[in-house]
Structure formats: structure tokens, C-alpha cells
Amino acid sequence: MIYISKDLVEQIVEHSKREFPNEACGILSGSQGMVKKVYEMTNTDKSPQTFFMDAREQIKVLKGIRSTGQEMLGIYHSHTASEAYPSGRDVELAHYSDASYVIVSLKNKDNLKIRSFKIKEGKITEEEIKIV
């Protein structure tokens, strides 16, 4: 289970909307499953179907997270025209087995969906998002 405040969920959703028609992406940090901060990242793919984080930006953010005593809890991204479920490429690029993979679907802009998954060795397991 991942815990996140309503304000941080809104930040993720707003970032996803701003990046449309391309996918948005970012990193979630915190401790003990509670997200404390959202880092909006640059999608170097600039694509409506894929995302790839800027490597230098990612290293800087991860060092910053460690310096605060927190940990990377997850990675989020948006799907612009498909469901909030990991694509084959998402699974292929899921290199952090302990991370939560949060996906925002913009497929139906009047009814956005946000879901979270654990992806370990290619196996996808949905986890609950608890908004606190």
C-alpha cells in the first residue's frame, strides 16, 4: 500500500494534464510508504506513448532524496489514451522492484483514474493507494 495526501495526488494529476498530449513522469519520495514529496521530471521522449526520465535530473533528485533521509518510494507517469495499467514497455523498464509504479490515465478526462502497481520480475500486482 502507498499513502499519499490529496494535495500531492492533485500535483501529479495537474502535472499529467500540463504535459498532455505527451506522457508526464516523476519520482515519489518519503518513508514507510508515506509519500512526502513529488518530483516532476522531464520526459526526454516527449511522446504520447512513452516516457524516459532525463538521467542527470534523475541522479540529482535521487541524491537529494537520500540527503534528506527519505527514500524513493515510487515512479509515476501518465497514460494519455490508455487505461491506468502498466504497458509492456512500463514492465520492461521497471528496474526498482520495491518501488510503487503510479499511473494516471487521461483517457477519460472527465473521470481520471489513478492506480498503483508493484512490478517484480515482470509480474504486475496492483496495490492500494490510500489518500490521507
pTM: 0.95
- What is the spatial distance between Cα 39 and Cα 85, in angstroms, rounded to a whole number? 21
pLDDT at 72 (0 to 100): 97
* Mean pLDDT in order along the chain per 10 residues (132 residues): 97 97 98 97 96 95 96 97 96 94 93 96 96 94
Place of cell 510508504: 33
pLDDT at 101 (0 to 100): 98
Q: What are phi and psi of 90, to 5 degrees?
A: -60, -45
Among residues 110, 105, 112, 53, which one has the least CA distance to residue 79?
105
Q: Which CATH architecture has domain 2-131?
A: 3-Layer(aba) Sandwich (3.40)
Q: Where are the domains of the chain?
A: 2-131
